[in-house]
């Protein structure tokens, strides 16, 4: 829905100010989910930029943000149940789900 980080042709890109001079303002993060996450978390200015965007989107329409994140968790869990996640990234996906659930819990506390 928000498409901050996108998967195009099995490569992960992020919409960022760091890449605004590049085509479509997109920066390549990695060739797969694991390398993309590693590149993302090692780039602190990028992490902060995306965190700010997420906060802005969340506070703009908290109900929609919660719904979108919950739907994404459901989607990931379904892919895990159906064995549609490569075993090499299964742990990564499970960690992402846990992080999103923690974020949603924090939103409920703030509300």
53 part of a folded domain: no
Please tell me the total count of domains within the chain: 2
Is 66 in the same domain as 107?
yes
H helices present in the chain, as ranges: 33-41, 44-60, 62-81, 90-110
| Same domain? 2 vs 38 | yes
The tens digit of pLDDT for each residue in 88-100 reads: 788 888 888 898 8
Report the alpha-carbon distance of residue 90 to residue 7 in Å, rounded: 17
User: Does residue 49 lie in a domain region?
Assistant: no
Look at residue 54 and tell me if it is in a domain: no
> pLDDT tens digits for 24-69?
788 889 998 888 988 988 999 988 888 888 888 777 778 888 888 8
Residue 11 within a domain: yes
Same domain assignment for residues 67 and 107: yes
Model confidence, pTM: 0.66
Range of the domain at 36: 1-43
């Amino acid at each position: 829905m928000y498409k901050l980080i996108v998967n195009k042709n099995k490569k992960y890109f992020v919409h960022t100010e760091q890449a605004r001079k590049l085509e479509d303002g997109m920066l390549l993060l990695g060739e797969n989910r694991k390398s993309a996450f590693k590149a993302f978390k090692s780039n602190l200015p990028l992490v902060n930029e995306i965190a700010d965007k997420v906060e802005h989107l969340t506070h703009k329409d908290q109900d929609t943000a919660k719904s979108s994140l919950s739907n994404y968790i459901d989607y990931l869990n379904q892919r895990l149940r159906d064995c549609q996640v490569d075993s090499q990234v299964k742990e990564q996906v499970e960690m992402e789900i846990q992080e999103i659930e923690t974020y949603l819990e924090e939103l409920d506390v703030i509300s």
